[in-house]
Amino acid sequence: MAKNITYSILACFIFIINSITSVQIVEKRELECALSENVRENIANYAQVTNDIIDYFVKGPLKGKTWNSLSEFVDTFGNRLSGTKNLENSIDYMIEKTRENNIKNVYTEEVEVPYWLRGEEYALLMKPRVKNLPMLGLGYSVATPPDGIIANAIVVKSFDELKSLPDAEVANKIVVYDEAYVNYGVTVKYRSKGASEAAKKGAVGALIRSVTPFSMNTPHTGMQSYDANVTKIPVAAITHEDADLLWRLQERGKEIVIKMKMSATLSTKTSRNTIIDTEGTTKKDKVVIVSGHIDSWDVGDGSMDDGGGAFISWMAQIALNQMNLRPKRTLRTILWTAEELGLVGSREYGKRHRNETENLNFVMESDGGVFQPLGLIYSGSKTGECMIKEILKLFSSINATQIQTQGEPGPDIGMWTRDGIPGGGLLNEASKYFWYHHSEGDRLNVMDSDVLDLAAAFWTAFSYIVADIDSDIPRSP
């Protein structure tokens, strides 16, 4: 399990590093695209249906529908942590809503998922003054003893600084990381490995400055993993403000004493991936997957991560059904379960369907926020890239023509794209994504109705074109 958790964390990090940094990185290189005129003409013929789908969302029957549906969903269920009854109720709800929209081919596949329950938790500064330290335990953290831990704290700015200290200076203390935020991909290692690095020096607990560029005294949670053969110590995130405060106190020579209490437990439960199929007309054995994850962390309501991605993927089925558009290939929407605790749902799907990968034509995932759509994060062959660029030309009316070819399109589909199966993720203007990520700030207020309409229109039209064009997206060259 530990090996899988570490691998899953790395997969998520690689995706995030390359797709939602503070400034979107879009490939500028030009390809020599030797597409045949038949392929170009075939793609160009989708101009009208692309505009029809966009209009259907932006000023037609589905205007505001994505936001309204997401709003009702998160207002009803709130956050949806892996293993909770709340998550399972939300899955039942999506099945019911799908059938209410006259889509009958919806089913689930069971998955054994982790159920990490944080329980009671708090951190309290006891010396040199008494102050509550808002905190959020990190996923898979062990609990403290029932009465908590009271220990002196030592504040460090980096792993290098920690490693330079004598073990005796760290032993039996709580290590506080006041690391500078560079970007998520660089800084998140403190969340991922902070507990184990502190434990190697004999620490009894760890507190991490939340991995975010912006704070309003709000801690951010997320997954961490323990190294093998290292004592597991409790670990949580605290706010920027408090991490900086503790550093200043230490610099003034003050003794810092913190009480830390966590009652987290870990078990397993049964959850489900939710699958919706529109069977293809003439190439039904070929499959295009469009997806997002339905679970969330246990703070906020998961509107952004990943309610928006799940709902634009769901709306693709609703829109195409209402517009009587049925592609040649089977279009499969998947709402993944237990992504946040280690890509558990997608990994199980991959194992269960490993003999079907030859039939996967294209895989899509939206899990980097749903903000102003810019285009697509693409992984695949050069010829496929030329085809994707040609398809993206059809979205000039909404300025969503960009392609990014660096990095992974999405964590849940990474098992396929790393094996050469072409795939895409939503490229969007996500510069403030990490302001809200894994925090109480991930609420519906982050989402904009008109922008959701544009993103859902793009996601629907793009998935339909890829599923319907005459040629498969080639895996090579």
Beta carbons within 8 Å of 186's beta carbon, 6+ residues apart: none
Residue with tokens 């499959």: 287
Dump pLDDT digits (tens) for 97-142: 999 999 999 999 999 999 999 999 999 999 999 999 999 999 999 9
343 has pLDDT over 70: yes
- pLDDT, averaged across the chain: 94
Residues 194-207, mean pLDDT to the nearest whole number = 98
Dump pLDDT digits (tens) for 379-410: 999 999 999 999 999 999 999 999 999 889 99
pLDDT at position 17:
52
Range list of H helices, 298-368: 308-322, 344-352
Q: Is-contact 367 411, C-beta < 8 A?
A: yes
Residues 23-39, mean pLDDT to the nearest whole number = 68
Nearest to 463 by CA among 272, 335, 278: 278
Report the predicted TM-score, pTM, of the whole model to 2 decimal places: 0.94
pLDDT at position 34:
86
- Please classify residue 213 by burial: count the beta carbons closer than 10 Å to its beta carbon, then call 0-12 exposed, 13-18 middle and 19+ buried: middle
Which secondary structure element, helix H or strand E, spans residue 372, and what is its range?
none
CA 209 to CA 240: how far, in whole Å? Answer: 6
What is the DSSP code string of 1-57?
A: -HHHHHHHHHHHHHHHHHHSSSS-----PPP-----HHHHHHHHTTHHHHHHHHHHH
DSSP designation for 304: I
Q: Which amino acid is located at 50 in the chain?
A: T
Beta carbons within 8 Å of 7's beta carbon, 6+ residues apart: none
Show the domains of the chain with their CATH numbers: 2-116+267-468 (3.40.630.10), 119-263 (3.50.30.30)
pLDDT at position 30:
55
Q: Is-contact 330 279, C-beta < 8 A?
A: yes
Q: Residue 121 phi/psi, 5° resolution? A: -155, 145
pLDDT at position 33:
86
Q: Is-contact 333 288, C-beta < 8 A?
A: no
Residue with tokens 């099945």: 95
CA 402 to CA 374: how far, in whole Å? Answer: 6
Range list of H helices, 78-158: 85-100
Q: Residue 227 phi/psi, 5° resolution? A: -70, 150
Does 100 participate in catalysis according to the annotation?
no
Q: Which amino acid is located at 248 in the chain?
A: R
CA geometry: angle at 306 spanning 305 and 309, to 5°?
A: 130
Q: Which amino acid is located at 298 in the chain?
A: D
pLDDT at position 20:
52
Residues 234-257, mean pLDDT to the nearest whole number = 98
User: Exactly one of 121, 179, 197, 339 is catalytic; which is it?
Assistant: 339
CA 477 to CA 422: how far, in whole Å? Answer: 11
pLDDT at position 451:
98
> 3-class SS at 177?
strand
Beta carbons within 8 Å of 3's beta carbon, 6+ residues apart: none
CA 252 to CA 248: how far, in whole Å? Answer: 6
15 has pLDDT over 80: no
Q: Is-contact 73 287, C-beta < 8 A?
A: no
Dump pLDDT digits (tens) for 429-472: 999 999 999 999 999 999 999 999 999 999 999 999 999 999 99
* CA 253 from centre of chain: 41
Share of the chain above pLDDT 70, in %: 94
pLDDT at position 139:
98
- Please classify residue 240 by burial: count the beta carbons closer than 10 Å to its beta carbon, then call 0-12 exposed, 13-18 middle and 19+ buried: buried
pLDDT at position 29:
46
CA 263 to CA 137: how far, in whole Å? Answer: 10
pLDDT at position 23:
41
CA 83 to CA 81: how far, in whole Å? Answer: 6
